[in-house]
């Protein structure tokens, strides 16, 4: 992956090579950080880069930071403005991924969340597909369980919690799969290694509720809106049993990185016809148009990065 040219670090935008922390940094040793992932989408027709739903992402990020008792003097709007300035400096004219991180910056030994100094950093890199076969992904049920709200809250994007995701993803890929589905301790389907899930059964789109140890996904929220408003589908949130997945007609994974990924096989069993279904295909098209600012109805979800120069006076 290409390294960034710049990063926001300790209150200013600096060359990426200057954005460095010491090996004693608390967040590095104890996983005491909260992060977000945002995508920027290049619209070649307008020659514009659109950042998708930044305020929603930064609201959730600050909520995640609150779980870690992090105190930073930033509003979602301030963080959006930093992101826009950083992307302008980076000058990307392609799809990209923006990673902000609030982290415990003290260089000390000792496990705690209180009486520590919190910092914000941010960087952006070119980014295409997260799941390489996102039209024909093969998944398996993981032997690992999703972290529980009373252990490490999954609704927060907390750095240390993603060891759980790493264990899940590595075992799945090494076993020959593209992704994994994860169960709660109660045996209900929670999500993927780093994606929310939807299944289609009886013409209804079903997704686990936020009480099933899932990340409260921004892409998940987007897909619920598009499915209801553009496709006229009933979308319900309820617990999902493992064997229901084997019997559904379509299975979709969603996330900022994964976008809208069609899962066609689970544990070597075909989902529906064993190929991407019409709902997934239509949602992928809709989502791509929305994030690139091509649907006026949802244009407010996008923030243009590059200011257009006014035409010279005649």
* Separation of alpha carbons 165 and 190, rounded Å: 12
Pick the closest to residue 27 from 149, 111, 99 (CA basis): 111
Residues 6+ apart with CB under 8 A from 135: 261, 262, 276, 284
Contacts of residue 1, defined as CB under 8 A and 6 or more positions apart, other chains included, come to 125, 126
Nearest to 298 by CA among 56, 13, 12: 56
Q: How far apart are alpha carbons 235 and 232 in whole angstroms?
A: 9
For residue 157, indicate whether it is catalytic. Answer: yes
Kindly name the residue from 157, 169, 285, 297 that is annotated as catalytic.
Answer: 157
Phi first, then psi, for residue 270 (nearest 5°) are -70, 140
Q: Tell me the chain's radius of gyration from C-alpha atoms.
A: 20
Q: Which residues are catalytic?
A: 157
């Amino acid at each position: 992956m290409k390294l960034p040219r710049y990063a926001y670090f300790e209150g200013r935008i600096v060359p990426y090579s200057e954005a460095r922390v010491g090996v004693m940094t608390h967040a590095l040793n104890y996983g005491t950080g909260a992060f977000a992932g945002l995508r920027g989408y290049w619209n070649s027709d307008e020659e514009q880069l659109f950042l998708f739903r930044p305020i929603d992402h930064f609201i959730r990020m600050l909520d995640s930071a609150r779980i870690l008792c992090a105190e930073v003097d930033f509003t979602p709007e301030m963080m959006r403005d930093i992101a826009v300035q950083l992307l302008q400096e980076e000058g990307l004219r392609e799809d990209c991924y923006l990673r902000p991180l609030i982290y415990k910056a003290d260089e000390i030994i000792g496990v705690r969340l209180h009486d520590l100094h919190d910092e914000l950093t941010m960087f952006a890199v070119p980014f295409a597909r997260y799941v390489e076969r996102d039209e024909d992904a093969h998944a398996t049920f993981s032997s690992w369980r999703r972290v529980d709200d009373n252990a490490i809250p999954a609704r927060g994007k907390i750095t240390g919690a993603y060891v759980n995701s790493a264990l899940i993803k590595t075992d799945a890929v090494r076993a020959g799969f593209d992704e994994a589905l994860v169960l709660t301790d109660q045996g209900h389907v929670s999500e993927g290694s780093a994606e929310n899930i939807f299944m289609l059964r009886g013409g209804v789109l079903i997704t686990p509720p936020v009480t099933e140890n899932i990340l409260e996904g921004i892409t998940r929220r987007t897909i619920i809106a598009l499915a209801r408003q553009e496709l006229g589908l009933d979308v319900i949130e309820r617990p999902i049993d493992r064997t229901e997945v084997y019997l559904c007609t379509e299975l979709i994974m969603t996330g900022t990185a994964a976008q809208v990924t069609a899962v066609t096989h689970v544990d070597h069993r075909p989902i529906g016809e064993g190929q991407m279904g019409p709902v997934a295909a239509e949602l992928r098209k809709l989502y791509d148009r929305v994030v690139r600012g091509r649907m006026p109805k949802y244009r407010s979800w996008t923030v243009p990065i590059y200011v257009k120069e006014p035409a010279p006076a005649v």
